A and B are shown apart, each in its own frame.
Chain A
Amino acid sequence: MKRLVALVLTMLIFIPGALFSAPVVKDKSSIGFATRQMGVPVAGSFKRFDADVRFDPKDAGKGSASITIYMDEVDAGSDDGTVEIKRKPWFDVKGHPKAWFLSTSLKELGPGRYEVAGKMTIKGRTRDVIAPVTVKKEGGLWLFEGAFAINRLDFSIGEGPWADTGTVDDKVEVRFRLLLTATGKK
């Protein structure tokens, strides 16, 4: 109990100065995805999302990220694709308007290189994901970049006839680039 109190006190004293939590610079941040359709690369992106990232380079282990994606504003790379991907067999944006990523740990791998682990929830299904992240200062802002792969069928993305991975690959690469204002930092 004492240790907990001490921990809370430490957090109250140190965190506001060290960690920062900041909104993303929307027009310079992106979350994209890429897969293959009949062998042809197709790429899309999520146009609207919120991200809350806490990060202190001196104490990376305390960092965290929580990202909310608004699925209705997805762009599947082509007009037909964008209409289709919002439908029930795919993202079912009516039934599941949001997707989330909530980090569970952040590990430092080397200078500027980290590994974030977390829970990804899409279409109401939650799976563990791990992604390498590079972090660097860009014009006084923090830039977080990384990519990880998921299997779309783990999230029931593409049901019924679309479960056929011969037409649309199961593997989907998710790429993120988050630019954060350091305003939260005192």
Chain B
Amino acid sequence: MGNDRWTWTAIFLHWVVATLIVANFALGEYMGDLAVSPMKLRLYSYHKWLGVTVFALTIIRLAWRAFHAPPPFPAGMPSWERFAAKAAHALLYALIFIIPLAGWLGSSAHGFQTIYLGVIPIPDLLAKNNELSELLEEVHEQLNHALLLLVIAHAGAAMKHHFIDKDDILRRMIGLKGRK
């Protein structure tokens, strides 16, 4: 196994988490404007469950990552690009870790405990507090907007590597490099 590839575990987690985040972002934006209805209550719960799933997968991912060095960047990659990529990846990890936390705490301060899949209670850390819940929900929203911009830049960078630099960056995250 060459060490210039991502492991299948890393590839799987990257794309599963990316897909769930895109879906949950859309769901989060959509559900807020709905009139109160059973559907709205359901969607809020699904949003929270999906978000908790992302959080759990992110922890697994970070733990995995701590013991598995990423493949080195292509030899010709300028140092500012290496730095930008590292910074962007660190920031992406930070956001997908903090966003669910803010959502969960905001919900707790709003007076609603999160019960994963309707069965597993997640600690209800905060007492009901309107100002605090508004603040946390605002943080949740703003960090989501930051995430949106960063993911666009991140995907754009992947496209640049693939179509302009014509290197292996995107191929190796899809699992094509060195495999048939």
Residues of chain A touching chain B, judged by Cβ–Cβ distance below 8 Å, are 37-42, 77-80, 84, 161-162, 164, 166-168
* B38/A164 in contact, CB under 8 A: yes
B118: interface (CB < 8 Å): yes
* B36/A39 in contact, CB under 8 A: no
* A78/B36 in contact, CB under 8 A: no
Which residues in B have their C-beta under 8 angstroms from that of A166?
Answer: 38
* B38/A161 in contact, CB under 8 A: yes
Enumerate the 9 nearest inter-chain pairs by beta-carbon distance, A residue then B residue, closest first: A39-B118, A38-B45, A167-B38, A39-B115, A78-B111, A167-B41, A164-B38, A84-B36, A40-B115
B112: interface (CB < 8 Å): yes
With A38-B42, A39-B119 known as contacts, the answer to whether A77 contacts B111 (CB < 8 A) is: yes
Residues of chain B touching chain A, judged by Cβ–Cβ distance below 8 Å, are 36-39, 41-42, 44-45, 110-115, 117-119, 128, 130
* B118/A38 in contact, CB under 8 A: yes
Q: Which residue of A lies closest to B45 (CB)?
A: A38
Q: Which residue of A lies closest to B35 (CB)?
A: A84
Q: Which residue of B lies closest to A43 (CB)?
A: B111
A167 to B43, CA, bound (A): 11
Instruction: Label chain A's interface by main secondary structure.
Output: mixed
* B36/A80 in contact, CB under 8 A: yes
Which residues in B have their C-beta under 8 angstroms from that of A37?
Answer: 41
Which residues in B have their C-beta under 8 angstroms from that of A78?
Answer: 110-112, 128
Distance between A43 CB and nearest chain B CB, rounded to angstroms? 9
A40 to B130, CA, bound (A): 19
Which residues in B have their C-beta under 8 angstroms from that of A38?
Answer: 41-42, 44-45, 115, 118
Which residues in B have their C-beta under 8 angstroms from that of A161?
Answer: 37-39
Most buried by A among B38, B115, B128: B38
